[in-house]
Amino acid sequence: MLLPADALADGIIGYLDLSYSNSHTETTDASGTSTDTKLNSFNQQLNLTLTKTIYPNLRLLANGIFENDKINSETNGVETDSTTRILRPFVDLTLRTPLYTAGVNYTRRETKNSVADLPSTTDVNEAYSAILGWRPDGFPSFDMRYVHTNTFDKEHLVRDNADDFFSLQSQYEPVRGVGLRYRGTYDDSKEKLQELETKNLTNDARITYDGKFLRDRATVSASYEITTRSTEIITSGQGEVDFQIFPFSGLSSIDDTPLQGALDPNPALIDGNITASAGINIGLPPVGGDTKPRNIGLDFVATTEVNELFVYVDRDLPAEVASSFSWDVYVSADNLNWSLWNPLVKPQYDAFRSRFEIGFPNVQTRYIKVVVNPLAPGVLGGTQFPNIFVTEMEAYIRRAAEGVKGKISSTTHNVGLDGRYRLLDDPLLYYEVSYFLIKTTGVISTKISTLSNGFSVSKRLSRVFSGNARIAREDSVDRLGNAHAYIYSAALNATPLKTLSHSLTFSGRNETNPQGKLDRNSIFLYNSADLYTGISLYASGGLGFSTLETGRKQDSTILNGGTNIVPNRYLSLNLNYSSTVTDETGGGLPEASFTTRRTDVGVTYRPFPLLYLVASWGWVTDMDRKMTLQNYGVNWTPFVDGQLQFSFAYNENLQSDINGKVKNLLAAVHWNITQRSYLDVAYQVIDTSSVTETAKANIFSTTLRIYY
């Protein structure tokens, strides 16, 4: 197979992987207890794919993967042998034209695990599916899908589940600006061993409208959506049932202060597509890459009870990689201040669905998020996963079947309206109105609505100066009662030069709600300048004044500044500083002061394309904690275009508050033996130390891939 040859059949390709890894880890904890672990792993993977165009629009795709993984582990002299064999056949036959699509496919994953002298176990996941789509020009489109799934162990002693899923989706635009959409799903899930059956029926219809009137002086955007859901539970009283909770929006951010800071909207997290990336990568970062924790969350709009989250990823993960992730669960009432609800959750990983199932004690919250660090260096097989993208996040409430058997139904109405009318052209004056309503009836009845009326104005005062302002009244209703608020803001902008800009802004909110009165006001000055080519500066500062419903006053002073210097195409320097000081008084509580300061300095140097150097330093003062962070890295890849390629990477991280240090050295060789085969050899040393433990790991790995 090392030599090129003609395929025996049209469209047959595949590869053979032979991988071996050896690791030795020595760990000592704070009490002096030592653990010595040795691990040897040999993996064989055979992949074969057949593609055949039977007719011009009829395509057959068949794929089979056989994988055999043998692991020998020794911990403090105690040896354990394990073997995992995975068989994954897949067949798909699809007819596709511009007008219609029809297809059937079958997929199966059979995993046999053998550990030491214990009886072996075999788990099977298989699915039969069919699709039918019709997309006539100028008429409603229809897409139908049916999937039957079986999940069981070979002996049918631990798990024996079956699931039938059917969906129908249609979209139509009868006239310009009007959109119609319908989606219906039916899911019948049977857990045969627990004698539990759950039937879910969902119907969702939505109409949208966008239009302009009066020579484009008025714009209107409106939508109405109605969703009915019914769940029937048939049970003998055993097992548990998952009820899905549908959030209003998905949220995400990358930062290392999970207790503070708002997450940004991320609609892709809740769009129902479990294969497309939502832009969050939890894979192994490159040397000098961003290793900050990933924050992934949901907004339910109203306080909601939840005890389970599913996080989907875009690829299959081996057990060693999936089990290396730990997840922290945080909750919040305002998407600004977060509380740790459940730390270091080790979730179950469903390999068939490529998702992490994160369970935790029941909590009632509006906002919830999980925080996870990207894949850490040294995880067995981790170097093969630089990209692991999160695709979807789902929320559930799991309850005992005995307490919820019977039929449950609910109906949700969702109304949205945005309107704008231009009153004057100079200054540019608008009247703005918006209305938002979510009303649910059924087992739990809720109503949340917000009506906003306001005016906004903007004016170019001169070549240098411009200004804008807005004032609005907002009336809202939620489960706690009625509230109203006045929202106001004003800004003066100055751009004396193309490379120099200033902005002075004032904003505030005066709110009366069932808990009392809330006042928030702030004033900020923003400045940015490009002094020369490759040299830019920014500086901002401001004051914030708040009085909470309890009478507690909060006064904050915020300063931010930094510079980016690129003297040439080889060198880049970054300096950033931030400071927040908050003083609290009143409200029947003692006076308090909170200070957070952070300074970051970063340098990157690339003297030539094959060598990359990075260094960064950070100093953090947070409450009573002072911390110094340091990071150094080098990546060298000579002979990048040759048959024999070599790469070297070194990274060192230091964290002063825990006396922590992580050193990571990686040397690798890639040899293109022929056009159809290559060999990878890598050696990695990871040395970690902190006040809690020290550890040193040496890892050798090699992979031979042969294409045919």
Query: How close are the terminal C-alpha atoms of the chain, in Å?
Result: 6
Using alpha carbons, select from 404, 229, 410, 393 the residue that is nearest to residue 327. Answer: 393
Predicted pLDDT of residue 612: 84
**What ranges do the domains of the chain cover?**
35-205, 206-237+405-460, 249-402
By residue count, the chain amounts to 708
DSSP code of 659? Answer: T
**Tokens of residue 623, six digits:** 């409450």
Residue with tokens 């030491």: 116
Tens-digit pLDDT profile for residues 280-325: 999 988 766 778 899 999 998 878 889 999 999 998 888 888 888 9
Whole-Å CA distances, 462 to 203, 457, 459, 491: 55, 16, 9, 15
For residues 475 and 436, what is the distance between their CA atoms, to the nearest angstrom? 11
Residue 426 dihedral angles phi and psi, to the nearest 5°: -150, 105
pTM beyond 0.85: no
3-state secondary structure 453-468: EEEEEEEECCCCEEEE
Residues 6+ apart with CB under 8 A from 97: 57
* Residues lower than pLDDT 70 in the chain: 1-10, 237-238, 287-288, 378, 380-381, 402-404, 443-444, 640, 657
The backbone region for 480, taken as left when phi is positive above 0, alpha when psi lies in -120 to 50, beta otherwise, is: alpha
b/e sequence 469-506, b meaning 16+ C-beta within 10 Å: bbebebebebeeeebebebebbbbbbeeeeeebbbbbe
The contacts of residue 411 (CB under 8 Å, 6+ apart) are 226, 227, 228, 229, 440, 441, 442
Q: Name the E strands within 135-269.
A: 141-153, 160-172, 178-191, 196-213, 218-235, 240-245, 249-254, 264-265
* Spatial separation of the C-alpha atoms in residues 538 and 562, rounded to whole Å: 5
DSSP designation for 260: B
Give me the phi and psi of 505, to 5 degrees please: -125, 145
Q: Where are the alpha helices (DSSP H) in 189-291?
A: none
Residues 249-402: name the CATH superfamily. Answer: Galactose-binding domain-like (2.60.120.260)
pLDDT tens by residue, 638-674:
776 778 888 888 888 787 767 788 888 888 898 999 9
Q: Give the bridge partners for 256, in sequence order.
A: none
Per-residue tokens: 608: 């030539």
pLDDT digits over 374-413, tens only? 988 767 667 778 899 999 999 988 887 766 677 888 899 9
403 SS3 class:
helix
Positive/negative CA dihedral, 148, 154, 156, 159: negative
225's CB contacts (< 8 A; 6+ apart) are 204, 205, 206, 207, 412, 413, 414, 415
